[in-house]
Amino acid sequence: MDKPGKILVVDDDPLVLEALHQTFMDDYEVLLASSGADAIDTVASDQTIETVVLDIKMARMDGLKTASKLKELSPDIPIIFHTGYPGDYSEDEIEKGHQPFDYVGKNERPARLIRAVKNAVSYYRLKTGQSDLASLAREQFGMVGRSRGMLEVYRTIEKIGPTDNKVMILGPTGTGKELVARALHKRSNRSGKPLAIFNCNHKAPDLVESELFGHLKGSFTGAVADKIGMFEYADQGTVFLDEIGDLDITTQAKILRVLETGEMQRIGSPETIKVDVRLICATHHDLLTRVQENRFREDLYYRIKGVTITLPALKDRREDIPQLIDFFSHRYCARIGSGLKIFEPEARDYLIEFDWPGNVRQLLDTVQSLIDLSPSYYITRKEVASYLVLTENPADGDGSFADRIRDFKRTLILKSLDRHGRNVSAAARELSLDPSNLRKIIKDLKIKLG
């Protein structure tokens, strides 16, 4: 099996060289250099090196000068500074010598350097076109599609993920903003620490404050025990606030304090707690409009804006729908333990032509529901059309699109069970379903038969 990359390790201490060689030899082809001059000669003679791990404090030519020379030879090559003397050089000096891909102290845990090298090799391959961006996104993040809009999303994730930049994810509801947040965290140097996810949509301000910042026992009615909030739980990691545009003004002020000072307090506690988190936000609202309407703080808006990633609506990337159908079908059939069900060509055409007001989430729910409800292993255009006619109006009913689909399935099955005296086999015959499959659906929907 080919190793996933070739790296160069540069250090004038032979013990460090040997230790790093042992660390990386199972996963990479590792070249070693004991001086800056040796490193320059190696890169000059081998254009397949994908990352350099470089000591800064070395005799004759230090790491900063070496990095500058290496970038002249190979401008795209990522360089990770690895030093036991971080205080000897200021950040300004390091940036003058070379803006590194990452900076890892020798006193840090090996996992930190291992992760940095993995990210650097991946970044190099993407930047130089040696990796299939869409395949990488699918394998590592569960994100499917090769449309121009999605490729731009993947590129931004690879570029911004390893940084500490704040990120704002925009796009209609159901386009997969949480998947992007998870991908950014996975790509970051904080990936070994927690990712806390919180949806701000339609929640009471007191509940939001408790979830985000925690509380002490007895601080309000119902506070029966101490609670750690999202920001404290995710210290050194990432907090993802979905639908941040729905936050109340008071909570917005408390989030601003965390971002400006790194400090927070649990409800009912006078103690100040220090936290260090990367903040990723998402919204389908126009936040600038909300600022103008005095529904969102202007100072918080500019604090969280950061890098913007915009997810396209599914109808604007129809070329991705066939891949999404196959991905969802294979995954769901494997999960429920059934044979693979196939959408006939005309059924696939119908799915491609549909406008999908609920976006990818609606397509996922539709594929899974049709797999559950279809009596055969070949799903027809008529079945797809009939199902979407019943569920396509998102304005009817309350709750999310997924909730309404779940209610539709539950009602359909309850009516059939009622007509047949709760007899599952008889209901299955009426619905043209296998009885064992119907029992799985009943269990998933939490329908009581007794």
Count other Cβ atoms within 10 Å, centred on residue 425: 10
* Residue the block writes with tokens 């205080």: 87
Q: Are β-strands 51-54 and 263-264 bridged in parallel, bridged antiparallel, or unpaired? A: unpaired
| C-alpha of 424 from chain center | 40
Element (H, E) at 269: none
State the residue for tokens 């690895």. 82
Give the integer Cα–Cα distance in Å for 321 and 315.
9
- Tell me the DSSP string of 184-243: HHHHSTTTTS-EEEEE-TT--HHHHHHHHHEE-TTSSTT--S-EE-HHHHTTTSEEEEET
SS3 342: strand
Distances (CA, A) of 260 to 266, 274, 275, 445: 17, 12, 11, 45
Tens digits of residue pLDDT in 90-104? 555 555 545 678 888
Rounded Cα distance, 385 and 382, in Å: 5
HSE toward the beta carbon, residue 386, CA cutoff 13 A: 9
Residue 240 has a pLDDT of 97
How much is the pLDDT for 289? 94
- At residue 92, the pLDDT reads 54
One fold for 6-127 and 146-310:
yes
Sheet containing strand 307-310, strands side by side: 195-199, 238-242, 278-283, 167-170, 307-310
Domain layout of the chain by residue ranges:
6-127, 146-310, 314-444
Q: How far apart, in whole angstroms, are the C-alpha atoms of residue 179 and residue 157?
A: 11
C-beta separation of 339 from 333 below 8 A: yes
Rounded (10°) CA dihedral 387, 388, 391, 396: -150
Burial of residue 411 (number of CB atoms within 10 Å: 0-12, 13-18, 19+): exposed
pTM for the whole structure: 0.65
Q: What's the pLDDT score for residue 294?
A: 93
Q: What are phi and psi of 391, to 5 degrees?
A: -120, 0
Amino acid at 271: E
Which residues have a Cβ under 8 Å from the Cβ of 382 and sit 6 or more positions away? none
The fold adopted by the segment(s) 146-310 is Rossmann fold (3.40.50)
Q: 6-127: which CATH number, 3.40.1440.10, 3.40.50.1970, 3.40.50.2300, 3.30.70.2200?
A: 3.40.50.2300
- Per-residue pLDDT tens digits for 401-438: 667 777 778 778 877 886 787 788 888 888 878 888 88
Angstrom distances, CA of residue 437 to CA of 15, 108, 231, 382: 61, 52, 42, 21
Q: Residue 424 corresponds to which amino acid? A: V
| pLDDT for the residue 392 | 57
Architecture category of domain 314-444 in CATH: Orthogonal Bundle (1.10)
Q: Of 418, 415, 419, 413, which Cα lies nearest the Cα of 438?
A: 413
Below-50 pLDDT ranges, the chain: 1-2, 97, 394-397
**Within 10 Å of residue 191's Cβ, how many Cβ atoms?**
18
